[in-house]
Amino acid sequence: MVLVPHPDDAEWYAGGLLASLQKNENARIIIVIATDGCRGSYEYDHSVLITIREEEACQAAAILGAEQPIFLGYHDFELDRLPAGILRENFIRLIRQWKPDIVIAEDPFAPGEPHPDHRAISYAAADAINYADLPLLHPEHMAEGLKPHLVVEKYYYSESDIGTNKIVDISDTLDIKLKALAAHKSQIRFMVEGLLRQAKISGINNETISRNMPEDPQQALDMAFMAQAAEIGKHIGVKFAEAYRYERFHPLVESMLAETGK
């Protein structure tokens, strides 16, 4: 299960890992998307954009081999306005419903995250991941047949390499990640348009912009992701990789497992 704020975030941050889990381990992939992505565009009305982003997310999930995404339906840039605990309860409920062995989410302890939706998701997700096994937390779930569930493996992604302790080889799935990302056409155009606007406002001439930013937005994105994945891959001697802060059991339990050679 991956818990993300926006329709493209699962593929953006963990597409290689998700594709690898599905391809190599036949894992069932559940993508939970908190917002409708309705603010991220220079070209569409927000009501039109909601439909577009949902369709693109469904297409991307299919390319990864994931289930139909679960859309929580909150508006973009409004997660920080929700009543305290709402997101956490949503995630705890879903973890208890689906009982995932692995949950992937944004690292709440990574520095420099500017987006309020990302910050809100990271803390709510981490709380849910770590405490969904407590029977007295949201006991009303028990009445619905949802029993507490311990998430064993936690993968936290971020833009920072601080705390990174696990490098995942995605050499055989980077192409799937890029194809899934390509399904998010509206988001890619939005991102590239934002960069172009910044470059022009800064006074950079058109020749320099053209040399550094291909006309095809997808080509620009692919080049950036390949370069990033190649740089991460150098740490473990593979062609392409993704980096995470990985947690499993409590340190005491991990030390006992180490004694047994596990």
Reply yes or no on whether the pLDDT at 238 is more than 90: yes
Q: Comparing 125 with 209, which gets the higher pLDDT?
A: 125
Instruction: State the pLDDT at residue 189.
Output: 87
Reply yes or no on whether the pLDDT at 69 is more than 90: yes
Residue 260 domain flag: no
Residue 166 domain flag: yes
Reply yes or no on whether the pLDDT at 169 is more than 90: yes
Residue 256 domain flag: no
Write out the residue range of the structural domain in which residue 242 sits: 2-250
The pLDDT confidence band at residue 219, using thresholds 50, 70 and 90, is confident
Residue 244 domain flag: yes
The pLDDT confidence band at residue 115, using thresholds 50, 70 and 90, is very high
Q: What are the distances in angstroms from CA 209 to CA 4, 45, 190, 201, 213?
A: 32, 28, 17, 12, 6
The pLDDT confidence band at residue 209, using thresholds 50, 70 and 90, is confident
The residue among 193, 210, 173 whose CA lies nearest residue 65 is: 173
CATH number of the domain where residue 201 is located: 3.40.50.10320
Instruction: State the pLDDT at residue 57.
Output: 98
Residue 76 domain flag: yes
Domain count, the chain: 1
With beta carbons less than 8 A apart as the criterion, state whether 6 and 33 touch. Answer: yes
Q: Which stretches within the chain are classed as H helix?
A: 9-25, 46-64, 86-98, 116-131, 140-143, 174-182, 185-201, 206-212, 217-233, 251-259
Token reading at 128:
């849910």
Instruction: State the pLDDT at residue 247.
Output: 96
Distance (Å, whole) CA 113 – CA 246 = 19
Average pLDDT over the chain, rounded to an integer? 94
Mean pLDDT over 161-183 rounds to 96
Residue 16 domain flag: yes
Reply yes or no on whether the pLDDT at 220 is more than 90: no
Query: Cα 10 to the chain's mean position, in Å?
Result: 3
Distance (Å, whole) CA 5 – CA 37 = 8
Instruction: State the pLDDT at residue 99.
Output: 98
Q: What percent of the chain has pLDDT over 70?
A: 100
Residue 255 domain flag: no
The residue among 24, 182, 27 whose CA lies nearest residue 104 is: 27
Residue 257 domain flag: no
The pLDDT confidence band at residue 18, using thresholds 50, 70 and 90, is very high
